Amino acid sequence: MVKLVLIRHGQSEWNLKNLFTGWTDVELSPNGVKEAHEAGKLLKEKGYSFDVAFSSTLKRANHTMDFVLEEMGETSIPKHYSWRLNERHYGALQGLNKADAAKKWGDEQVHIWRRSADVPPLALTKEDERWPGNQEKYKELIAKGEMTIEDCPLTECLIDTAKRVKPYFDEKIAPFIHEGKKVLIAAHGNSLRAIVMMLEHLTPEQIISVEIPTGKPLVYELDEKTLKVLDKYYL
């Protein structure tokens, strides 16, 4: 048996402002910083340690990982970053206040965009500055061969997010688990829901009701050979 720990980043500045965030690279709020440090203290108190850590390319998840490892005295372990662990891209909703969006398109439509597994929000155009293909960070990743221009989403639903998370989990993360390594993944609500969906073999209908709170370590006890879930719990 091996333990895999998932943690959603602490509260971000845009979580606090009730804005659709997606791939927008915002900082943690002061409360989010506190959540991350408290998670690290709790993990240390419970006797956890890690061999390797994974995160997205977004600083709210990166800083959460850093603060957790700082509290645990494990800042020197290998860390890996990938756009595939980024939050779901909210398309034309990114940057909008959720209440304002509901006034514009209606509560029911916004609820469908937010909570259905297979209905993406309105798409951006490639001329929009919010499209990752126009942003330096992703231009650099494309130049390095770590992603392609086709990988830059105009919008995403949860199923789209899961399609990019799964190959990264299978190829980069799962091998460490099979070796019995202790893995930490600090990412986002929807990229982590994609992992939960894979581990628990949930249907799109079942994953809709799954919520992952900010800053709370979620532990999966797995069979290291098959990745069968033996137990799961929040600390």
Active site residues: 9, 87
- What's the CA gap between 57 and 45, in Å, rounded? 28
- What's the CA gap between 98 and 178, in Å, rounded? 41
**Which residue pairs from 225-228 have beta carbons closer than 8 angstroms and sit at least 24 positions apart in sequence?**
225/178, 227/174, 227/177, 227/178, 227/199
- What's the CA gap between 24 and 15, in Å, rounded? 12
CA atoms within 13 A on the CB side of 78: 9
Residue type at 171 in one-letter notation: E
Q: DSSP code of 86?
A: S
Q: Which of 9, 12, 11, 80 is nearest to 50 (CA)?
A: 80
1, 112, 117, 184, 213 from 202: Cα distances, Å: 22, 19, 12, 22, 19
